[in-house]
Structures are given as C-alpha cells and as structure tokens.
Amino acid sequence: MKIDILTLFPNMFTGVLNESILKKAQEKQAVSINVVNFREFADNRHQTVDDYPYGGGAGMVLKPQPIFDAVAHLTKENDARIILLCPQGERYTQKKAEELAKESHLILICGHYEGYDERIREHLVTDEISIGDYVLTGGELGAMVIVDSVVRLLPGVLGNEASSVHDSFSSGLLEHPQYTRPADFRGLKVPEVLLSGNHRLIDEWRQKESLRRTFLRRPDLLAQSELTDKQKKWLEEFQKNER
C-alpha cells in the first residue's frame, strides 16, 4: 500500500511514523508513507495556500489550487482514494478502516485554518472522514489515527495475524478481558477457566465476556451487531441481572 499525506506541518508526523508498528510496517515494505507539504505546490511567489473567504467572515480558507495540483502530481501513475479530514465527514469506524485497508493508494488531506474551499470537497475527494465530534487545530492528528488503524490491518504487519481479528470493534463488540502471569497477583486471581486448558470453554468464556463488556460499556453497539442464539440468551441473562 502507498499512503500520501498532504499537510502544512510535516514535522508533526516524524515521531509517529518512525516508531512501533508503523516503523516496522515500512521496514517490511508492507506500506510506503510519504508526507508532502502542499505549500510547495502553491503557484505564487510567497507560496500562499489560504485566502479570505468570499462574503466575509472569520478566519482563512484553504485555496483549491495547491491541493488540486498536489493530488494531480501524486496520482499521475494510478488512481487513489482521496480522503479529506473534516469535522463534517463520516464518523470513522473500524469497518471504515477495514475498507480502506483493501486499497492500494490512499491520499489524506489535512486541513487547517477555517476550512477548505468547497470545490476541494465537491470535485476532488472521494471520502470525508471525521474521527469524532470535536474540533482539532488541523487534520494531522486525524490522519495519524487513520494511518495507524489501517496499516496494522495489512498482511504481515502484526506478528500475530489473529490480533487484529479479535480487537475491540472488529467483531462489532468490545474485546474480552485479558490476563497474563502471575495467576495470583496480591490475591487477585485469574479466572479458573483460562487456566483449564480447555479451549472450547475458554473460547465460550471470551465470547460471553466480550458480550457482557459491550452490554455494560457500549450498549449502543449491540443494535448494530448480529447476535447468535447463544449470545441472545446471554444478553437476556445480563439484562435480568441489571433489574
């Protein structure tokens, strides 16, 4: 996969892209990540990328020309999924991350100032994404979130391929509780079933606890999940215990 990030603040990405999983993914050549300062594509002497909004109002608006030209330069050889980081965009989810992970080329556009010229939104991008209902100074942090969540899904990136499958939200539910050594830490003991060696019982316990945790912490997710008959019975049990 190839990922291009258009930003006015490329140094913000230095630490994030050169540590942990993202660093290893690039070393394995599972992904190529290129950070581009789109100011370099401005067609004026002072490399101005923003201007006052028509009709007046507070703040400055990003001009279309530098971003259009930067995208054209990056898509000379192939098409790309072009993503605008924007508070008006679609709420980002694990399902969206899985969708984007199937693409061969992503371009992420990080906004700044008051917003984008509307022609960028209407005639250039394929997706608008928001990572949450709050406002950040720019789209850089959102782009980092998307890159991290997508890259870890690429084949060969994680040491254990099952890790991403069992993550919270991958199944539509929150992940089950996890434990490690020691089995007894200051009187706090690991559930016996996890020490039993019975993988069928362990798997059932994990499924049930995943459902319980989702019911208690994110019940809104249950409305979107297709539950098995067994899970429905467990859910009824949890609901009765809450009364």
**Active site members:** 87, 114, 152, 167
Comparing CA positions, the residue from 18, 23, 9, 157 lying closest to residue 97 is 157
- Determine whether the annotation assigns residue 187 to a binding site: no
89 annotated binding-site participant: no
If 0-12 CB within 10 Å is exposed, 13-18 middle and 19+ buried, where does residue 214 land? buried
One-letter amino acid at 122 equals E
Of 178, 156, 157, give the one whose Cα is nearest residue 167: 178
Q: Is 135 annotated as a binding residue?
A: yes
Tokens for 226? 């297709």
| Parallel/antiparallel/unpaired status of strands 105-110 and 188-189 | unpaired
111 is in an annotated binding site: yes
Known binding positions for S-adenosyl-L-methionine? 111, 131-136
Can you say which residues are annotated as belonging to the binding site? 111, 131-136
